[in-house]
Amino acid sequence: MSYQIDYSPEATIDLNGFNPAQKRQIGIQIKKFAENPLPKNEGGHGNPLGNKHGMNLTGLCKIVLKKMGVRIVYKLVRTDKAMKIIVIAARKDEEVYKIADKRINQ
């Protein structure tokens, strides 16, 4: 059973900044991860973040799209069986993680 995919308003804006082909690839990967978004240490596809570059991103996971140089950060909402997309951005050092940290701590 797949998890529901919810996009934060900011993640929707992020996604709209990509061209149609990139959006399609991002969507495919998000849907794939939604089939089992649990962290890898629990048998899922998600790469848990934890403390990253001095930011506490515990409870968040990432999807890495190596060919595109894109990172997608999401939060797993287990009670609602939902996968909340927090940020979709090109990986520029730790910039994507700074954005995620800012958005979860607003």
User: What Cα–Cα distance (Å) separates residue 3 from each residue in 38, 69, 77, 83, 105?
Assistant: 10, 25, 9, 6, 24
User: What Cα–Cα distance (Å) separates residue 69 from each residue in 32, 38, 72?
Assistant: 18, 22, 10
Q: Is 61 helix (H, G, I), strand (E, B) or coil?
A: strand
Give me the helices (H) in the chain, please. Answer: 9-16, 20-34, 95-104
What's the predicted TM-score (pTM) here? 0.86
Domains along the sequence of the chain with CATH: 4-104 (3.30.2310.20)
Residue pLDDT tens, the chain, 106 long = 689 999 999 999 999 999 999 999 999 999 999 999 999 999 999 999 988 778 899 999 999 999 999 999 999 888 888 999 999 998 776 888 889 999 988 7
Q: How far apart are CA 56 and CA 53, in angstroms?
A: 9
